[in-house]
Structure 1
Amino acid sequence: MSASKIVLSLIIIICFQSCTKNVDFDQIDDANIHTTYLSTLVYLNLTAPKFLDTFNQEIAITTDAVEATISQDSKSYLEKVEFTVVTNNSFPRNFELSIIFYDAFGIPIYTLQPTIVAPPNSSELTTIIEIPQVDIPIIYETRSFGFYIYLSPSSDGSIISMNDTATLDLKSSVKLFFNYRKI
């Protein structure tokens, strides 16, 4: 074997020795994978007739509901839950929105706090409400979310009429923050 081949072989061996180190496969135990899941809950465009009964009398409460089942498999990884509600109210009246969680039997088990307010003649308002960490497990018992919209009485005694062109727009979503890690 020639001297140049020996030198070249030594250089290659030295390069490979200096470029590698022991691989610690236990590092995978420390890995965290953060992911976010966004789900649209409800979009409502409510006009005057939605707040009137068959006799054109005002209805103080309007409701809607949406199913919401979250897999128990993710229970150990859910770290944060945020509800986002966007309102746009062109009525000259105040609206209050409550979001109530229901179990499989339709029994209320949790009310999201605080109540969301859509002031009279207000442009787009965004409200973000985070469920406190200690209350997050309730989300796994929830089978549906109920939306209760309360029409406050007018200060001047006026009422909504069938021909009123005002609207209350409501958009809502829930964002779930997961951290998948070794438990």
Structure 2
Amino acid sequence: MSTPLNPDASVLASLMESHVKELDLIPEQFLQKKEEMVPILENCLSHSCLEQGLADQIAPGPVDSAFIKDCVAQVLVASNKRFIKIVHCYLLEAGKEKQAEEYLQKVSPASRVEHLESIKMWNYLTLPFQVFKVMEDVGLGVNPSSFFMPPAPPEVFPTPAPGWRPGLAMADGI
């Protein structure tokens, strides 16, 4: 079983700062100091209203790549909604009702949300675990890392130059 990569409240506070800036909102109006944000965010993260019934959204079906892709897509949408809900909940708990409404208006175009780096970072931190949980719930033992881990850069696993042979390195004195 993989280790869940769920960001804590301080990581979420940093993500929220960049998220608000990406939406061209004024952070000072929306966000308190990080030390003041953390307890509010911890409370938001623990609210039962934020718990996602991800497995309930996905009916078990035939195990094929189309089913798995569909499953991942549904979890991704639910993950985006969860992040938006946490930010909105934070603003309400911080007594910023007007800003919470403005935030929802700014974030409503779903196509824009998909391109925000802060949302991408949230998904990088949370999605593999969420997908694994759903796969487990529907009876599949699929490791989500194959969906989300970027390929290793060539410098990590260098490939030899064309024409290279094992004895060649010794002959060159390398």
Structure 1 and Structure 2 fold alike (TM over 0.5) = no
Higher percent of residues as strand: 1
Which protein has the bigger helix share? 2
TM-score, normalisation: structure 2: 0.27
The normalised TM-score by structure 1 is 0.27
Answer with 1 or 2: which has the greater Rg.
1
Structure with more contact order per residue of length (Cα contacts < 8 Å, sep ≥ 6) = 1
